[in-house]
Amino acid sequence: MGEQNQSLESFWMPFTGNRAFKKKPRLVERAAGMHYYTPGGREILDMVAGLWCCNAGHGHPKIVEAIQAQAAKMDYAPHFGFGHPAAFEAADMLASIAPEGMNHVFFTNSGSESVDTALKIALAYQKERGQASRTRLIGRERSYHGVGFGGISVGGIPYNRMQFSNSMIPGVDHLPHTHLLDRNAYSRGLPEHGIELADELENIVGLHHASNIAAVIVEPIAGSAGVLIPPKGYLKRLREICDKHDILLIFDEVITGFGRLGDNFASQAFDVKPDIITAAKGLTSGTVPMGAVIVRDEIYNEFMSKPGGAIELFHGYTYSAHPLAVAACKATQTVYKDEGLFHRAAEMASVFEQALHSLKGEPNVIDVRNYGLMGAVELAAIDGQPGARGADLLQKAFDAGLMIRITGDTIAFSPPLIVEESHMQQAVETLKTILRDL
Ligand code: PXG
């Protein structure tokens, strides 16, 4: 069916201006390697890995084969009281790339479910270890932790909370965000200024008392809010303050996991060990929905230390460790390893940095920032119309054969880890042309 005459009415699209989209749709129907293809066959360079997830590139034959073979062998297996051997193997594979001492994995189907699962594990753990008064959760401004009630409550994106403001879970505080444009603009890698923002955690502890606080959750690099990179020393300082007050630290690595920062997880890239990691997206290179929560052994062992064989955690999903997701996860992790894609991401990071920073000085560009294969170019908003310039640019980029992600007036980049220098040059040249007559 052509792009023009398909009915788009029935699908209520997520996080999309439905009316604007349906007037002028941007449709893709095929993908391979670094590219999408429109129904008319036009090639679109994918500089966001779909939605920060297709880290192995599109349509990797080994991942495709594994999913096809599993679909033919066993469609579904229950994991409430039964098990499927491959699911245990997938958990082992994740434990082997997680930071040391984090060897237990709870499977979910998305980043949102991973976040809500992690928050529930944190709360239940505090209760299990006899610290039931530790119920408060601390998130951060401008953070995105998915769309579950837990996730939007600890999250810090005003529009995502606005329609639900009376229904947030109680007992949540927010750290300040770390985006200091006036002090850190055009930083390459970690910005110099802002470590002191972590000390706000001491103030929150001072206000509520540590004995009431369960966990802090942060994205090591905030993705959705426009790639906000932590100031030097900031994450270590958060870890120190959590240790001092016996508070759990959760890293939401839904975007930063699986090579995005040139290492297995941001935890390793930044050498800061959290107590819980949430993951999704790159876990299966976006091929089959799957999420995971990876916990420190002490947390798992606390649940397992009680006598008897009863259920230890009253939580789980019909599709936890779905066989298709497990097959995709195992094949994806094998591809990452065999093809050295995380190492490749680390090697390409400086080329990526050069390419992005060449946009400095173009019309309306007010910041360029990057770490690993994650980066952003921030544009000045049009007076009184925040987001309008970004929306215009998204459309023009698509028309010119380039897929990027826009948050407000910030362009985000997170290319598949197979990206070549020529793709980066193409993206930057396309953007230069558009910015010059936007
Ligand atoms: N945590 C983080 C850090 C995320 O980036 C989620 C949780 C939720 O994952 P699910 O799988 O439930 O969507 C995410 C998701 C964007 C964008 O444009 C980012 C996400 C999702 C959709 C759009 O930046 N991240």
Q: Does ligand 1 have an atom closer than 6 angstroms to the CB of 144?
A: yes
* CB-neighbour burial class of residue 356 (10 A; exposed 0-12, middle 13-18, buried 19+): buried
Residue 281 alpha carbon, nearest atom of ligand 1: 11
Structure tokens at 245: 């007050």
Measure the CA–CA gap between 267 and 251, rounded to whole angstroms.
Answer: 8
Mutate to test the pocket of ligand 1, among 109, 110, 251, 255 (most ligand atoms within 8 A of CB): 255
The model's pLDDT over 206-241, given as tens digits with 9 standing for 90+, comes to 999 999 999 999 999 999 999 999 999 999 999 999
Q: What is the mean predicted confidence (pLDDT) over 339-347?
A: 98
Listing from the earlier edge strand, what are the strands of the sheet with 35-37? 30-32, 35-37, 43-46, 402-403
What is d(CA 224, CA 51) in angstroms, rounded to the nearest whole number?
10
- In the reported structure, the alpha carbon of residue 3 is separated from the centroid of ligand 1 by a whole-number distance in angstroms of 28
Closest atom of ligand 1 to 252 CA is 3
H or E element at residue 199: none
Substitution site in 144, 411, 413 for ligand 1 pocket (most atoms within 8 Å of beta carbon):
144
Crossing angle of the two packed helices 421-436 and 388-399, in degrees rounded to 10: 120
Q: Which helix (H) or strand (E) holds 385?
A: none
Residue 214 and residue 134 in contact, taking contact as beta carbons nearer than 8 Å: yes
The number of beta carbons lying within 10 Å of the beta carbon of residue 355 is: 23
Identify the pLDDT of residue 307: 87
**Ligand 1 pocket check for 255: Cβ under 6 Å:** yes
Confidence bin at 137 (pLDDT 50/70/90): very high
Phi/psi of residue 359, each to 5°? -85, -10
In the chain, residues under CATH classification 3.40.640.10 are 64-338
Whether 195 contacts 179, CB under 8 Å: no
- Phi, psi angle pair for 330, to nearest 5°: -65, -45
Q: Classify burial at 182, counting beta carbons within 10 Å of its beta carbon; exposed 0-12, middle 13-18, buried 19 or more.
A: exposed
- pTM score of the predicted model: 0.97
244 CA distance to ligand 1 middle (Å): 31
CATH architecture of the region 64-338: 3-Layer(aba) Sandwich (3.40)
The per-residue pLDDT for range 233-258, each reduced to its tens digit, is 999 999 999 999 999 999 999 999 99
The rounded distance, in Å, linking the Cα atoms of 295 and 44 is 38
Question: In the structure, what pLDDT confidence band is assigned to residue 1 with cuts at 50, 70 and 90?
Answer: very low
State the Cα–Cα distance between residues 86 and 437, nearest whole angstrom.
53
Give the pLDDT score at 2: 46
367 closest CA partner among 266, 227, 195: 227
When the candidates are 3.90.1150.10, 3.30.56.10, 3.50.50.60, 3.30.300.30, the CATH number that belongs to 3-56+340-437 is 3.90.1150.10
Q: Which atom of ligand 1 is nearest to the CA of 110?
A: 11
Find out whether the beta carbon of 260 lies less than 6 Å from any atom of ligand 1. no
For residue 51, which of 207, 236, 280 has the smallest C-alpha distance?
Answer: 280
Rounded to the nearest angstrom, the distance between the alpha carbon of 254 and the centre of ligand 1 is 7
Joined tokens for residue 160: 């995502």
**What is the pLDDT of the chain when averaged over all its residues?**
97
Ligand 1 pocket test: which of 254, 278, 283 has the largest number of ligand atoms within 8 Å of its C-beta? 254
Per-residue pLDDT reduced to its tens digit, 257-277 = 999 999 999 999 999 999 999
Which residue carries 């349509």 as its tokens? 59
Per-residue DSSP letter, 222: B
Ligand 1 contacts CB of residue 84 (under 6 A): no
What is the secondary structure of 173-192 as a DSSP string? EEEPP---HHHHTT-SSS-S
Q: Which two tokens stand for residue 13?
A: 């699209």
Percent of residues, the chain, with pLDDT higher than 90: 97
User: Which residue ranges does the chain devote to CATH 3.90.1150.10?
Assistant: 3-56+340-437
Do residues 359 and 376 touch, judged by C-beta distance below 8 A?
A: no
Q: What is the pLDDT of residues 161-177, one digit of tens each?
A: 999 999 999 999 999 99
CB of 150 closer than 6 angstroms to any ligand 1 atom: no
Q: Is 280 in the pocket of ligand 1 (CB under 6 A)?
A: yes
The dihedral built from the CA positions of residue 85, 87, 90 and 96, taken in this order, carries a sign that is: negative
Position 306 scores a pLDDT of 87
The SS3 call for residue 326 is helix
Q: Which structure tokens are listed for 118?
A: 């992690």
pLDDT score of 438 more than 90: no
Looking at residue 5, its pLDDT comes to 53
Please tell me the predicted confidence (pLDDT) of residue 368.
98
Q: Which atom of ligand 1 is nearest to the CA of 255?
A: 5
User: What is the edge-to-edge ordering of all strands in the sheet holding 374-379?
Assistant: 365-371, 374-379, 410-413, 405-407
The Å distance, Cα 149 to ligand 1 centre, comes to 14
* pLDDT one-digit tens code per residue, 271-313: 999 999 999 999 999 999 999 999 999 999 999 998 888 999 9
Whether 3 shows a pLDDT value over 60: the answer reads no
Residue 376: CB within 6 Å of ligand 1?
no
Q: Which of 373, 359, 363 is nearest to 416 (CA)?
A: 373
Q: Which of 52, 288, 394 to mutate to test the pocket of ligand 1 (most atoms within 8 A of CB)?
A: 52
DSSP state of 286: T
Task: Find the mean pLDDT for residues 352-373.
Answer: 98
Nearest by Cα to 311 from 81, 4, 67: 81
Q: Evaluate if residue 200 carries a pLDDT over 90.
A: yes
What is the atom index within ligand 1 of the atom nearest the CA of 224? 24
pLDDT of residue 308: 86
Summarize the confidence of residues 35-55 as an average pLDDT: 98
Whether the per-residue pLDDT at 196 is higher than 50: the answer is: yes
When mean pLDDT is compared across 1-5, 16-20, 148-152, 319-323, the lowest value belongs to 1-5
